[in-house]
Amino acid sequence: MAQIDELRDYLKRPRLYANIDGTAEMSMGLMVLAFYLMHCLERMNYLDHVLPATWPQTKAFKGMLLLVLLVIPMLLAGRWATKSIKKHITYPRTGYVVQRKAGKSTVVVLLVVALLSAGFAALSAFAYRRYDAAAMSLIWAAVMAGSYSAFVFRLSREHLWKLIIAALMSAGLLLLAITQGGSSADFMGPAMLLVALSWLASGALTLAIYVKRTHSAACEAE
């Protein structure tokens, strides 16, 4: 039985290797930061000042524009940064890996995530109608803190200090939900910023620890 467990452990290792340098966390942080900036610009009605009068002035169009001009370039920049870190730091130190393409199990996981997201959206809408915005904010806070905690539990258990980040993030989100939860717009901005910074800090620290613990192999002499 120990051999089977060991085998399972080896089969899981490449998945853990994907975030050995913290790039997955930093990408996540950058994505949340992009949505936070989009949220801020929307709240400031920034596009009202710069959008030509002849262009459509609907909220949906402005949202789409911000998505294309802000969020997508930030996501692409994150992808480029991840590739650069892998190429110049990770691969020379601990080796090059091409992960396996999505198989059946990945599709199942994506379906489960989609179902959970739909369930969460329905739950937050129900909380908003049945109770108030504060209840919805609490649910959002739980989901945001839960996502990071689940990530740490599944993919980063060797870094116990991440539990401190998870605890700080949870406490901060809870505090925000209590103090700003009355208005979902007031809550979402600071909450997204806190989540983005937590993911980014976690990823950056992981990268710093990785660089400290490993050294670049000048060449592989076999």
Partner 1 sequence: MNRQVRAISELDRVIHEPARLMLVALLFAVEECDFLYLLHETELNKGTLSSHLARLEEAGYVSIDKTFRGKIPRTLLRLTPLGHEAFAIYRKTMGRAL
Residues with Cβ within 8 Å of residue 73, at least 6 apart in sequence: none
Task: Please report, as ranges, the residues that interact with partner 1 according to CB under 8 A.
Answer: 1, 3-4, 6-7, 10-15, 17, 91, 94-101, 217-222
The distance of closest approach from Cβ of residue 106 to partner 1 in the complex, given in angstroms and rounded to an integer, is: 12
Q: Is 89 left (phi over 0), alpha (psi -120 to 50) or beta?
A: alpha
The distance of closest approach from Cβ of residue 24 to partner 1 in the complex, given in angstroms and rounded to an integer, is: 16
By beta-carbon proximity to partner 1, the closer residue of 59 and 100 is 100
By beta-carbon proximity to partner 1, the closer residue of 3 and 45 is 3
By beta-carbon proximity to partner 1, the closer residue of 17 and 128 is 17
Total count of residues recorded for the chain: 222
The distance of closest approach from Cβ of residue 209 to partner 1 in the complex, given in angstroms and rounded to an integer, is: 16
Distance set, CA 45 to CA 48, 74, 186, 193 (Å): 6, 20, 15, 19
By beta-carbon proximity to partner 1, the closer residue of 1 and 50 is 1
From CA 111, how far away is CA 97, in angstroms rounded? 26
Give the dihedral of Cα atoms 27, 31, 37, 41; nearest 10 deg: 150
By beta-carbon proximity to partner 1, the closer residue of 101 and 212 is 101
Q: Let me know: does 196 contact 29? Beta carbons within 8 Å.
A: yes
The distance of closest approach from Cβ of residue 218 to partner 1 in the complex, given in angstroms and rounded to an integer, is: 8
From CA 158, how far away is CA 171, in angstroms rounded? 22
- Residue 81's nearest CA partner among 35, 13, 25 is 25
The distance of closest approach from Cβ of residue 97 to partner 1 in the complex, given in angstroms and rounded to an integer, is: 4
Q: Let me know: does 149 contact 166? Beta carbons within 8 Å.
A: yes
By beta-carbon proximity to partner 1, the closer residue of 14 and 146 is 14
The distance of closest approach from Cβ of residue 166 to partner 1 in the complex, given in angstroms and rounded to an integer, is: 27
